[in-house]
Structure 1
Amino acid sequence: MPDSAKTALAHRPPIRLLVVEDSPSVREFLVYLFASDQEIQVIATASNGEEALEAVKTRKPDVITMDLHMPRMDGYAATRAIMENYPTPIVVVTDSTASDDRSTTLSALEAGALAVMKRPTGIGHPDHAATARELIQTVKLMSEIKVVKRWAKQKTPAAPAPDTLPPEPPLMTPAARKHFRLVAIGSSTGGPLVLQQILSHLPKDFPIPIIIVQHIAQGFAEGFVQWLAESSKFAVALAVNGTVMMPAHAYVVPNGFQANVDTYARVTLKKDAAENGHCPSVSTLFRSVANAYGASAIGILLTGMGKDGAAELGLMRDQGALTIAQDKESSVVHGMPGAAIALGAATQVLGPDKIVSLLAGLAQHS
């Protein structure tokens, strides 16, 4: 590291972290873990949601790690209360993938949590260093996110109904009125809510299959799919090897597999190496879509850390596909879409509402 960078780091105030965890041993483990990084300072801990809310009010942390199941006030209720009163970046940290925990975790994301992470493995486990590093890096990045207040649920304005969307959005040109056969979406941090917004506002007879890679913690893909299905008007399912994609269906690639598609709309899943640190990887999927579908595909890269899928969105564009990157204003983290925009890979840069309008309009001509 150059001396100037070291000097800047030395003068940068540490990230103020609140650790919320009801288990004393796990709480101690997390505090020890974060204490190993000089850029993070654990300013307080809490053993339940009520203590967390008070700590946020009085200590004003930069970022919070949030447990799920706690006495007196659970992780979902605490997240909702914090985001309604003292908006602060929240990372859910859990070691359980039980159905109840998956539901609570996704509800916490809906209430405003930015990410869900598996608790790092214990010291001595072969994966300890990697899992600890991933959590620390996520907490650092999330601390820089400028979150906004979430209004109480009853005060949230209703989203526009699908039939109020313009049938032919101004963004669509005559040249864009072609026959599209597949929509491929890549998404990471902040993506679940955007995907929910997009899928819930597409018509139930949306005539183009959708395939999705969402970076999400191991064990939560099934609950994520169920959560999306409950808010969508068409079928949402976890892709399996050999799936033939159908219109009015969305398919989510499961954890631990890389996904490829062929010209017969068939999905192949392989236990393959991670790409860009991810399995599934958006890059793997988009490269496959570019080869199999060419100009008849739509590629969408949503909010997320890193650059997974950015260059491959460019491959899709080179093949004549319609390529879309989420705009900076609506992205929780503009890493992936920002990288695609910098490469010139996106033919459109849009917010979620405009993405819905564009897809709904294009679908009428497919």
Structure 2
Amino acid sequence: MRVAIVNDLLMAVEVLRRVLAAVGDYEIAWIAYNGAEAVEKCAADLPDLVLMDLIMPVMDGVQATCTIMRETPCAILVVTASVRGNAAKVFEAMGCGALDAVATPVLGPEGKIEGGAELLKKIKTISRLIGKPVANEKPGSPRVLPRSAPQLVAIGSSTGGPRALAEILSRLPEDFRASIVIVQHVDVQFAGGLAEWLNEQTHLTVTVASGGQTLREGMVYVAGTNDHLVIGSDLALHYTPEPRDYPYRPSVDTFFFSVEKHWPGKSVAVLLTGMGRDGAKGLLGLKRAGWHTIAQDEQTSIVYGMPRAAAEMGAAVEILPLDRIAESIARHMRSEEVAYLGG
């Protein structure tokens, strides 16, 4: 795989070069020392993956990511030393199309590189996302809704997801009563920051999902570890490492399958912008089980991969632009509540 490095610090560039060279499977396509140079080089020689720093002169990593994804789209991994201190910038870059983010490896005592393994793990995952779809487990079957279970909105998203999620949550009504569970492809170190950032975009309460947690009306739960978030037979949230060979962590399909198997109602499931096919089979299973399923349309998706897969297999009842998804969710929730109350 041909990898490009974008970083204004010579030491960081050298460390990244050493980490890639130690594996032997990656070819360095080119090196750029600011975002503007990266945009130019992507236009002239498109790599398979760009390792994009955030804080740089001339043009920062957020603007460079947005420009590249608009003009010459390719896989981008944000690699920056200031991931926690610049969470908002990380989410901006991911909103424009960056796949994930990781801390820049550093040269430790006695010349030992620290953080290289985590970077290589991210690169390996992205290479699998680019190269092939993933086999999925067989979904289960639905049951009858008990009065104690709230309505559920299940949402899956990846590339461009943070911005899309903020758009949807900001448009839901203040008295929205269903529970919302979000599975966004994001590393565990950014999950808390994502929940905090989304909490600022909506009047609903957004929190990181905890194992054993029971869903409450009007709450938004965001998957918070590199394990998969699932609904258990006790109707509570749980984390599981299985399946271990998924390149998508946490997996939307794994969550959707668990919802179909255990959640005792027929509510709404949404699949948003993202690379690959994660969530499409799970969405199809929920549609067949009687759920109202929505996929984001091509025009408003940063990367039309996951929703495209859902559309191609007929998994979506509706294919909608981003600015109409919240309205559809709210309308369906109201109609379900009226039907439930016998109205």
Bin for the TM-score computed over the shorter chain: 0.7 to 0.9
Deviation per CA, 1:255-300, whole angstroms, max 9, x where unpaired?
Answer: 2222222576521223444363233211121111112235522111
Q: Note the C-alpha offset of 1:137.
A: 6.4
Aligned residue runs from structure 1 range 1-366, under 5 A: 19-31=5-17, 33=20, 42-46=29-33, 49=34, 52-53=35-36, 56=39, 60-61=43-44, 62=46, 65-70=51-56, 74-76=60-62, 82=67, 91-94=76-79, 96=81, 99-110=84-95, 112-118=96-102, 130-135=121-126, 181-262=151-232, 265-274=235-244, 276-293=246-263, 295-365=265-335, 366=337
Structure 1 unmatched ranges of 5 or more? 1-13, 142-178
Distance in 2 of aligned mates of 1:319 and 1:68: 43
Counterpart amino acid of residue 283 in structure 1: D
RMSD between superposed Cα atoms in Å: 3.7
Quote how far apart the aligned CAs of 1:189 are.
Answer: 1.2
**What displacement does 1:362 show?**
2.0
The amino acid of 1:326's aligned partner reads: Q
CA contact (8 A) 1:94 1:119 kept: yes
Residue 37 of structure 1, CA deviation:
6.7
Cross-structure match for 1:172: none
What TM-score, normalized by structure 2, do the two folds share? Answer: 0.74
SS at match of 1:237: strand
After superposition, give the CA deviation of every residue in 1:30-70 in whole Å (9 maximum; x if it has no partner): 456399678x7634420xx4xx3256358845475421234
Give the Cα separation in 1 of the matches to 2:303 and 2:97: 13
> What SS is found at the alignment partner of 2:200?
helix
Offset of residue 357 of structure 1: 1.6
Task: Name the CA distance, whole Å, in 1 between partners of 2:117 and 2:41.
Answer: 39
The verdict on how the C-alpha distance between 1:18 and 1:273 changes in structure 2, with shifts beyond 3 A counting, is closer
Q: CA distance change for structure 1 residues 66 and 227 in 2, over 3 Å: closer, same or farther?
A: same
Which residue pairs with 1:166 in the alignment? Answer: none
**Alpha carbons 2:150, 2:215 under 8 Å: kept:** no
Amino acid of the residue matched to residue 93 of structure 1? V
What secondary structure, in the 3-state scheme, does the structure 2 residue paired with 1:220 have?
Answer: helix
Q: Do the aligned partners of residues 216 and 72 (structure 1) sit closer, same or farther apart at CA in structure 2, a change above 3 Å counting?
A: same
TM-score (norm 1): 0.70
The count of aligned residue pairs is 308
How far, CA to CA, are the matches of 2:238 and 2:124 in structure 1?
31
Work out whether residues 66 and 92 of structure 1, in 8 Å CA contact, stay in contact via their aligned partners in 2.
yes
SS in 1 for 2:295: strand
Structure 1 residue 328: deviation in Å? 2.0
